[in-house]
Structure 1
Amino acid sequence: MADTHKKHDLNPTTLEEAPAMPVLAEGSPVTTKSGDSAGGASIEAPLTRPFEGFTYIKKEWVDQEDEIEKVTFNMTLGALNLPADWTRTQSSTMMPEWGTVPLRRTWIVRLPTHFEGKDQYLFHYFFQASHLSGGERVSRTFTHYIAPHQFEFIDHSGAVIHARLHWSLGGWQYPQDTEMEVDGIDWGSEFSVIHSLYRANDPLYEKGRSLVMKTIPVPRRFHCLIWAPKGAEVKYCFHIQRGTGEKAEMLWDNNFGKDYSLIL
């Protein structure tokens, strides 16, 4: 079961203007319903479990000795209460950040929200430093418990159509966005946020979602799940859309420019 974290009420005094939402790049692949014309096509997203996707974590190594040729990041995922299965190891060479002293090496790890159908699992990893002389040094093994954590945004105005959690682990090292769904719209239904990426500029989708939103009592509660290691610090804020079409307004709720912070 997901952990439930701090709720945030929409306070207009904390909102800042935001740039327009990005659109799909020219040539991006789309899927349309059979028989629809290109100009009025209804674009569909594949059905997933709620908030299924990936989490990105930046891992870092700092050289503590000279003549290190490369550092390899080795990882595997496993079920709870079971030892790591290193026969399924994924290995990647970490990227040097030239100019840093001592030399810093980083790698962005992509973790799934589910492992073997479970939304909680273990993330095991270790570092392996290779020296120019041919020797190697291996770190101890680290293990993180990965689990879903719930965030909520409350809109008292009744004007918010979309809310997005903008967040990152360990400071703003690698920001990512998670769409939030409002209580009252089922995941995967016609006007669910699961379709927002594919139908961002579809006036029928935006108008339909707006009409459905009007049937939901105020205050409206938006929520989402993110997957992250237990004990990690998450920095976050909210990117919201009020209204639709030409009247759409993009705003930030970022704690008066200080952002929000939470230990999971």
Structure 2
Amino acid sequence: MFQLTKVWTDQDPSIQMVAVRYTWSALGEAATWDGTEETEVMRVVPNTDPKMRQAVIEPPRYFHDKDSFLLHHRFMYVQSGQEQLSEVFSEEIVSREIDYLDQEGRITEVRLLWGVDSWNAPNWTQANLEGLHLQTLPDRAGHDREGEGLADDAIYELIQTVPLPRRYVGKVWGPRGAQVEYRYQLLRTNSPLPEDDFAMWITDNGHNFRVSLD
């Protein structure tokens, strides 16, 4: 899953409650609204007039093993005691690869901290190291299908088998056309000397990196 913020603005002061209902489908397929869709109640953002409401939803990163699919949502709102539904909004979810090149060989892990259009709903991705060929299954212990990475106590020794420079690749997701902000977390773990381990952040001169999901 990854987190995505949805926003609603009250068009009338008689609106009492709003929830967002959402589901997903393969590209080219319509939404199925059969009661199995996900629902999140939207909270009022303080000091907004007219009232603005937000909710964080969690669509999958993969659907039927595809990293691109359709996300559908609509709003259910209660106005003057009556429950009503908005139109259905559909958007294509796409992914983008983000890489990091390690020239020195000091790190053992690269993680991405990222958010879609804002930092209201941050996400993590653990990057894969190209050239590290391990026999793993998606459901095997230590493999994080959603996080796109591998966690292993012997990761330091394994990474030394990959020649420099080492390219780490992770993915970010969001609606097509959205802006994703991200920063890198670099780690060195399980090294022979524990005092050599570290974690550090890499930004774009103090600002987040940005990528457009075109």
TM-score, scaled to structure 1? 0.69
Aligned alpha-carbon RMSD (Å): 2.3
Q: Does the aligned pair in 2 maintain the 1:181–1:192 contact within 8 Å?
A: no
* Pair 1:241–1:92, CA change in 2 (3 A): closer
CA shift digits 1:155-182 (9 cap, x unpaired): 1111111110111001222112111121
Structure 1 position 151 matched with structure 2 position 102: no
Q: Secondary structure at the match of 2:132?
A: coil
Aligned to 2:78: 130
Q: Secondary structure at the match of 1:74?
A: strand
Q: Secondary structure at the match of 1:174?
A: coil
Structure 1 position 218 matched with structure 2 position 158: no
Q: CA deviation at 1:211?
A: 2.0
Aligned to 2:60: 112
Structure having the larger proportion of residues in helix: 1
Bigger radius of gyration among the two: 1
Size of the aligned set, in residue pairs, is: 201
Aligned to 1:259: 208
Q: Secondary structure at the match of 1:82?
A: coil
Q: Secondary structure at the match of 1:147?
A: strand
If asked which structure has higher relative contact order (CA below 8 Å, sep 6+), I would say 1
Q: Secondary structure at the match of 2:158?
A: helix
TM-score, scaled to structure 2? 0.83
Aligned to 1:26: none
In 2, Cα distance between equivalents of 1:177 and 1:77: 21
User: 231, 245, 249: which is aligned to 2:177?
Assistant: 231
Q: CA deviation at 1:249?
A: 1.8
Greater CA deviation, 232-241 or 67-76?
A: 67-76
User: 191, 199, 202: which is aligned to 1:250?
Assistant: 199
CA shift digits 1:99-150 (9 cap, x unpaired): 333222111101112224433221111113211x234554332111123321
Q: Does the aligned pair in 2 maintain the 1:191–1:209 contact within 8 Å?
A: no
In 2, Cα distance between equivalents of 1:71 and 1:187: 47
Q: Does the aligned pair in 2 maintain the 1:237–1:253 contact within 8 Å?
A: yes
User: 92, 95, 102: which is aligned to 2:50?
Assistant: 102
